[in-house]
Structure 1
Amino acid sequence: MKPCHAQHPVPADECRVCWLAAHVRAYQRLWGLPETGEHERVPAGAPGPGPLTWGAPVVAPCAHLGSREPGQPCGSPLLRCALHGDLTTRFAACSGAQRCCARCPDYCSAVAPLRPGDPGVGLAIGSYKWPELVELQIRVARATCGPVPVLVSTDHPEGVPALAAVCDRYPDVYLWPNATRLGHTGGDLAVYWKGVMWGAARGLEVVAKVSQRMVFTGAYWLQDGARELLASGLPVASRASSGAPRWPLRTEAALLDVGAWHRPGVLGRCAPGAYWGRRDGGFPAEAAVLELVRELLGGVYWPWPALPVDRRAGGAFLWHESHAADEYRALAARFGVALPGDFHTGGWDQEYRDGVYSYG
């Protein structure tokens, strides 16, 4: 028993792709293998998909894959490979590509291996506009932390179809849109609520809540942060921020102890809804989460070393107040993602002028 292309430890007879390559001549011809199989076509009773899905022999992205090209007439997309040119991810006769990733001797997983003994963790991403940025988040998280489960919460109903297409390309990525637009504060708090609910359902110990423009790049940042949080015995890890704006608790990145947060009183205080008008002068997410921590979670949080106190300081991450848009585009290019032309690292002033921003 050994890991297959998708890094699943399965016997060859239980791996759909390996079975097809060993026994079916039609697929042996397609993949350029010796035609030694006893079947011309797939027979009844052949092994099922197992850990791999039909037509997707490489579930974990390859480190050599780049941009996704327009689809072929059959709907099969092309991937640009740094070593082999255009590749198909499905076995379609109408595709102009000559190779498929299955059984490629140069395959190198872009997903970091899980480490034994690490706590069960997940990543909850808050999204508005820019599905491509979510795809970058997924690819970077898998490259740095391994095949951790990912939840995507979006407060942009119009963008759900495009975001769903992104999430469908990756295993164990779950899209949970808001039913209606909640706005900035409501959409932010919804990620806390959904992350805890989802994490509890998955049996996770710690969920990282991140805003879409907070892209961590350090190796195993999620597992290491979770281990520190659990060792502290505190319910949440984040940092205060200095400068302008000055917040006693940042919300663009936080680690949540799922067991501590998964209680009716706590969940009721961050349930999806409109928050801004609940306080005179507005109620930003930073104030709402700090109030929740003070009143229901003991009033103390773990100061997460991965986050600096100065929001404009750098670290093992990209953040829109400390990095330029070109730095995001450079990272995206490394991971085969093209960010849209309207991506920016400023505030939401233009969206406010366009009438699409909501304080929430």
Structure 2
Amino acid sequence: MVDWSDTAIGNEVDYATFGCNVFKADPATPDRVNPDIEIWRVGAKKVDKRAPDGRKIRFWTFRDTDPNKPFQTLVHPAPAMLVKENHVVHTHLTTATGPHTIHHHGIEPSTANDGVGHVSFEVGDGYTYQWRPSRPGTFFYHCHRNTALHFELGMWGPLIVYPEDHDEHDKRLFSGGPGYDSEKIWAAHSVDPRWHLIDAHDAGLCGIDAGLNIYRPEYFMLSGMWGEQAHYSRKTEIVAQQGERVLIRLLNASYSLLRIQFSHDVEIVAADGHAWGRYPWCPSTQMLPAYRPLEMATAQRYDFIIEAKKTGYFPVYFQFRDWITGKIHNNGKGRMKGRIRVV
């Protein structure tokens, strides 16, 4: 049995619960059953990346420690979680520099397995989160211990839920939904180097002013690749055969208002893990004409399908904008390009 009386879901809730004295524990998973899939993560692990101007930026991340896989090196963002709807998932978290949590963003688990420390607990050494996704879509996971800072530092990764009848030979966004031939995950991220110099685990909590109300990113990334490098990198380039339908899963993992423009017509097929056309009030898809801007909020996800009708290079333009002024960050330098290459 787990005694929840000392947590925010017990009878005593005060200011300290939400910043200074959050309950830390390593309980057994309530109502634990045998999983359909298991995922292993350890965090926070620290990894240094060299920015294009030579500056070394320290990131925090999760490492995949699946005992059934070869050793996984540190990456930013963290490795994707790939699961199926209606499957019971166990996410095993151990902490290298705890406490931390894993919040499966957009999933609706029980309170104990939500990964939000203020309403459940923070993981001291280790805990197994038990959850069961109820719908397919594009989600992500992140640490919810010191949410603002730990997310900026890189403790997040994509979370993809496939339909229960997912078929590699007949790929569908959801059962009966639009089909596609291949897929690519893009995650846009902006970096304020001042935040990355903060090494205090609890910076900004308990009402302490750590300067986290000021966000001035100087670097911009796509799926872990810096700025212009992302435009030419094999890691981020989308390569499609002529006539192929490519599903692009895009996450705005930045504290910026992200404006995106494709140079190719695309179909919007889902937003925030909700597939268009699955509900009577939503159309099956919505066309986004080439160069028409679309703005994405922090943590928002969009799924697009592009049909590669002709060969060539098709850039995708990103602008990282200030939430207050609407101006492009870093005096207009907050721009980045990805690209789609049709062969």
Structure-2-length-normalised TM-score: 0.25
Which structure dedicates a bigger proportion of its chain to helix?
1
Which structure dedicates a bigger proportion of its chain to strand?
2
Structure-1-length-normalised TM-score: 0.24
